[in-house]
């Protein structure tokens, strides 16, 4: 499946001073833009093909102190720019449910590694949907934490105002255990009891695949049966949120990669170069307008989460696309990320989890979003859903048999 870029030697994958911990024995792979000291960290790019990380990223060190075993670095879209993960100097990973389809991106290798059982947990990064899209495409559970929750030291940036790092696992309970180790305290809900779940049907627009819309409705009905209140609260400014995020991310990308674009642009994967180059034409006035749009959206979300505890939406509006589809790079990125990018503009957490199976046989992912720092509530609700469904337990045809 072309998932692993480097296997991590035991001497580099564990903390020799730790004999036990909350993640003892848990096998973890990390996206290859996250440094593991003494191991190649390529960002999926020819520019960094021989780069060896000097030290562990902060999140890797935290996992080692919790007793985890870092086994591998995982394939990704080059420089974490891309929704299919096919633009990697190491070649593209494929989906274990159907190797003729994409695994999502940019943390594609992370989603595949968990779904196929190569690791128990993977770390991904998420700027516009790069944890949530692979989780949805591969039928696993992935968390984009609140912005600023985790230390990003030792992680190659995409856009500092939106970058997050988070865990992907088969179950919400293992995501919660991993997040607790990363923040060094128990991630628990601040309150329990029935919740108000917003399902903004206008957000689930007419161009969402009918099977995906039906999976969301079925999940909403399950939540209602479990005692929660399901309400239709609109998400203000959601129609413009994707453009706001794109403007800010691409302007940051163009600045980060300006020298590479000027000196050796041919070393980029073509799809990466096409997307990064979009930022070159973004003026300061346009960026300032996007920053104002960001602030307006975030103020509106404070009001939304005063009325609702959690928002339920699809993770992706379409079925998992095939490899080598005819869609242009930019058009495909916008379509696949149509429902993840707005929640990247929000400061709070979003969790992707499997909520059904498409008639094609591919997983369907939903998103749960909560107010800033409400990861505990979000994960508790996801655990409740997974206590009453088995979508997260289903394994793809291509998987590791550990018996």
H-type alpha helices, 308-345: 329-336, 341-345
Q: Which residues contact 258 (CB under 8 A, 6 or more apart)?
A: none
Q: Model-level pTM?
A: 0.97
Give the CA count within 13 Å in the CB-facing half-sphere of 311.
Answer: 33
Question: Beta strand pairing status for 27-31 and 69-74?
Answer: parallel
User: Where do the H-state alpha helices sit in 34-100?
Assistant: 58-65
pLDDT at 403: 62
Q: Which run of H or E residues covers position 238? A: helix 238-256
121/134 Cα distance (integer angstroms): 13
CB neighbourhood size of 401 (10 A): 6
Per-residue confidence (pLDDT) for residue 368, from 0 to 100: 98
Residues of the chain with pLDDT under 70: 202-205, 325-327, 403
Give the helix/strand (H/E) hosting 12: helix 10-13
The residues annotated as belonging to the active site are: 31, 106, 130
Q: How far is CA 5 from CA 23, 95, 351, in A?
A: 23, 16, 26
pLDDT of residue 326: 58
Q: Which two tokens stand for residue 279?
A: 């930022």
What does the pLDDT read at residue 335?
Answer: 92
pLDDT score at 328? 80
Q: What would the two tokens of residue 212 be?
A: 């995906």
Quote the DSSP letter at residue 78.
G
Contact status, residue 203 vs residue 266, Cβ threshold 8 Å: no
| Calpha distance 350→370 (Å, rounded) | 7
Report the alpha-carbon distance of residue 139 to residue 281 in Å, rounded.
37
Contact, 197 vs 216, CB < 8 A? no
CA distances from 154 to 68, 74, 108, 382 (A): 18, 16, 20, 30
């Amino acid at each position: 499946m072309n998932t692993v870029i480097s296997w991590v030697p035991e001497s580099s994958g564990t903390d020799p001073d730790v004999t036990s911990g909350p993640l003892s024995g848990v096998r973890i792979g990390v996206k290859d833009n996250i440094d593991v000291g003494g191991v190649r960290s390529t960002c999926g790019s020819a520019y960094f093909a021989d780069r060896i990380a000097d030290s562990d990223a902060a999140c890797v060190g935290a996992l080692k102190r919790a007793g985890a075993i870092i086994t591998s670095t995982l394939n990704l879209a080059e420089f974490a720019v891309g929704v299919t993960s096919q633009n990697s100097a190491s070649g593209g990973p494929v989906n274990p449910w159907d190797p003729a389809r994409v695994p999502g991106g940019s943390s594609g290798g992370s989603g595949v590694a968990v779904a196929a059982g190569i690791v128990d947990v993977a770390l991904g990064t998420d700027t516009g949907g790069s944890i949530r899209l692979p989780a949805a495409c591969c039928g696993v559970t992935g968390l984009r934490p609140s912005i600023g929750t985790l230390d990003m030291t030792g992680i190659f940036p995409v856009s500092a105002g939106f970058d997050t790092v988070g865990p992907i696992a088969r179950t919400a309970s293992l995501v919660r255990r991993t997040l607790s180790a990363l923040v060094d305290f128990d991630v628990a809900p601040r309150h329990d009891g029935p919740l108000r779940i917003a399902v903004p049907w206008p957000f689930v627009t007419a161009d969402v695949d009918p099977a995906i819309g039906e999976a969301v409705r079925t999940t909403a009905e399950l939540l209602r049966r479990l005692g929660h209140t399901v309400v239709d609260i609109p998400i203000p400014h959601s129609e413009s949120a994707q453009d706001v995020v794109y403007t800010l991310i691409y302007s940051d990308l163009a600045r980060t990669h300006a020298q590479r674009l000027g000196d050796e642009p041919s070393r980029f994967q073509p799809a990466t170069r096409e997307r990064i180059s979009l930022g070159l034409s973004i003026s300061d006035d346009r960026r300032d307008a996007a920053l104002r749009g960001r602030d307006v959206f975030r103020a509106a979300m404070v009001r939304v989460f005063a009325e609702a505890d959690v928002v339920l939406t699809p993770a992706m509006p379409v079925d998992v696309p095939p490899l080598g589809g005819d869609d242009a790079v930019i058009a495909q990125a916008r379509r696949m990320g149509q429902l993840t990018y707005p929640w990247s503009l929000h400061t709070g957490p979003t969790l992707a989890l499997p909520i059904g199976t498409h008639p094609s046989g591919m997983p369907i992912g939903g998103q749960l979003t909560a107010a800033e720092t409400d990861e505990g509530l979000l994960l508790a609700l996801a655990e409740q859903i997974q206590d009453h469904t088995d979508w997260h337990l289903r394994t793809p045809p291509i998987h590791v048999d550990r018996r």
